[in-house]
Amino acid sequence: MPTPPITVPPVPPPNQADPPGAHQHKGAVEGSATWSLTDRIGLAICWALGLLFCAIAVAIVLYLLVQGIKFLRPEMLWTPAAAGFEETETGGFSDALFGTMIVALMGIALALPTGIAIAVWLVEYGRPAGLARVTESTIEAIAGIPSIVLALFGTVIFSSTALGFLSRSSEGVVFGRSFFAAGTMLSLVALPLIVASVREGLNSIPRHVREASYAVGKTKAATTRRILLPTCRPQVATGAMLGLGRIIGDTAIIVVLLGATQNFAPVEGVGFPLDYLRGAGTTLTNFVYEASPTGNLNQPQKAYAAAFVLLLMVLALNAAVDVVHRRARKVGTWSH
């Protein structure tokens, strides 16, 4: 199942530094000089690979930074895309930016309550045991399904006439592509992360806290709502942000379920905002895909600009997760 980011502090290595104080023995400390040749080559490989990964990460960040600054003009953020011959005439990608935010909000709005509910059921109730096992496997399975398959399933669901009101229809054929469709399937992408995170939070609360609440006559539901879940706020936040990160970064579902446009394409009917949500649109990921040489637009400059904005959003989310973790650690835990 997907894992939250590494939070355990690194294990200090046995070779300690020379501390000050009385007559200290250094002598023959175990350094790698005494290992056999194969062992030393292994350590060299470790160093080489570690440094290589660092170098690649730095290269990616720097390159996107340079290209992004070169090509991103602020008006791109609030100008919708337009047709044009020169790339500089084609406007910006504001629709894509809003699209990302809309789809992220919808996805999380669906995934968060559902994920919390499932996690609560798994930890606090969980009867019958067979159903609990099946549910755990289901969540793991959903995490392992490629998003392109989720997208195809979404086309089946949302093309049905029963759900036709959620997207455009013409002559009795339901189009099936809309923000509703994309948002719903994207919530499945975030769901396993939220469930895993909230479960971890609930499991870390010792039993005596629950027993103290039951002992004064509170129901499980009230206990969960008033005591357990508020305590799990860091884990809920972490799960939500990890899910958000995956939603923002997903392209396959958007390409399939949101339509191949660059702008909003609202469906006339009920009025703002449902018109927009029922219609097709685009997000930053879809925009980058289309603007790249593989897509239909071939506007590499705007692709870099959009990619840069996308990367900034993802980095901001990562930093937020870090902050939440650090603050949670400071608060302290129960004595078990």
Partner 1 sequence: MNEEHPEEYGPRWSDQRVERMLGALVCGVVALLLALIVTVFIRAWPSFAHNGLAWFGGSGDLEEQLNAISLSAQTGGEFVYTFHAWPLIWSTLLITGGAVLVALFSALFVAVFIVEFAPEWMSNVLQPVIRFLASVPSVIYGLLGVLVLVPFIGNHLVSEEQKSSVAGVISLTGYSLLAAVIVLTLMIAPLMVSIFSDGLRAVKPAWLEGSLALGVNRWRTTWKIGVRSARPAIVAGTVLAVARAIGEAVMLAMISGSVAFAPNPADGLIFIYEPSRPLAPTIVKNIDQLSSPPFNATLFSIAAVLLFSAALFSFAGWTARRAMSKYLAP
Partner 2 sequence: MEPLTYPPPIRRLPLEEGEPATEAIPEQHGTFTTAKRSIKAPQFSIRRMEIDEVSVHYGAKEAVKRVSLPVRQGEVLSLIGPSGCGKTTLLRSLNRLTELTTNARLSGRILLDDVDIFQIEPTLLRRRVTMVFQQPNPFPMSVFDNIAYVLREQGSRRARKKTLEPEVLSALDRAGLLEEVKDNLDHPALKLSGGQQQRLCIARALAANPEVLLLDEPCSALDPKSTQVIEDLIVKLRDDVAVVIVTHNLQQAYRIADHVAFMYLGDLVEYASATQLFGSPREKRTQEYVSGAFG
Residues 8-37 that bind partner 2 (CB under 8 A): 12, 14, 16, 19, 21-30, 33-34, 36-37
Contact between 146 and partner 2 by CB under 8 A: the answer reads no
Closest CB to partner 2 among 33 and 129? 33
Closest CB to partner 2 among 8 and 129? 8
Closest CB to partner 2 among 32 and 160? 32
117 binds, among partner 2, partner 1, none (CB under 5 to 8 A by kind): partner 1
Binding mask 37-76 for partner 2 (x = CB under 8 A): xx--------------------------------------
Contact between 153 and partner 1 by CB under 8 A: the answer reads yes
Residue 36 CB, nearest distance to partner 1 (Å)? Answer: 9
Contact between 249 and partner 1 by CB under 8 A: the answer reads yes
Site size toward partner 2 (CB under 8 A) is 19
CA dihedral 100, 103, 104, 107 (to 10 degrees): -160
Closest CB to partner 1 among 88 and 137? 137
37 binds, among partner 1, partner 2, none (CB under 5 to 8 A by kind): partner 2
Q: Which stretch binds partner 1 (CB under 8 A): 19-27, 254-262, 271-279, 324-332?
A: 254-262
Alpha helices in the chain (DSSP H): 37-71, 94-120, 129-144, 147-158, 179-203, 207-214, 220-223, 229-231, 233-249, 252-257, 274-278, 284-291, 300-331
Contact between 222 and partner 1 by CB under 8 A: the answer reads yes
Closest CB to partner 2 among 18 and 86? 18
Name which of residues 36 to 75 contact partner 1 (CB under 8 A).
39, 42-43, 45-47, 49-50, 53-54, 56-57, 60-61, 63-64
Residue 320 CB, nearest distance to partner 1 (Å)? Answer: 12
Site size toward partner 1 (CB under 8 A) is 88
Give yes or no for a contact between 334 and 209, defined as CB atoms under 8 angstroms apart: yes
60-68 long-range contacts, Cβ below 8 Å, gap at least 24?
61/311, 64/304, 64/307, 64/308, 64/311, 65/308, 67/304, 67/308, 68/304, 68/305, 68/307, 68/308, 68/309, 68/311
State the helix-helix crossing angle for 300-331 and 37-71, rounded to 10 degrees. Answer: 120
> Of 249, 267, 108, 105, which Cα lies nearest the Cα of 178?
267
- Which residues are bridge partners to 150 per DSSP? none
Give the separation between CA 35 and CA 172, rounded to whole angstroms.
75
For 6, how many CA atoms within 13 A lie in the half-sphere containing its CB? 4
Instruction: Return the residue matching tokens 């392209």.
Output: 251
Name which of residues 187 to 206 contact partner 1 (CB under 8 A).
191
Q: CA 71 from chain center: how many Å? A: 26
Contact between 170 and partner 1 by CB under 8 A: the answer reads no
Name which of residues 115 to 144 contact partner 1 (CB under 8 A).
117-118, 120-122, 125, 127, 131, 134-135, 138-142, 144
Residue type, 289: Y
Closest CB to partner 1 among 149 and 270? 149
Which of 106, 158, 250, 282 binds partner 1 (CB under 8 A)? It is: 250
Instruction: Return the residue matching tokens 């004064």.
Output: 216
- B/e letters for 241-254, b = 16+ CB within 10 Å, e = fewer, are bbbbbbbbbbbbbb
Residue type, 260: A
Binding site for partner 2 (CB under 8 A): 12, 14, 16, 19, 21-30, 33-34, 36-38
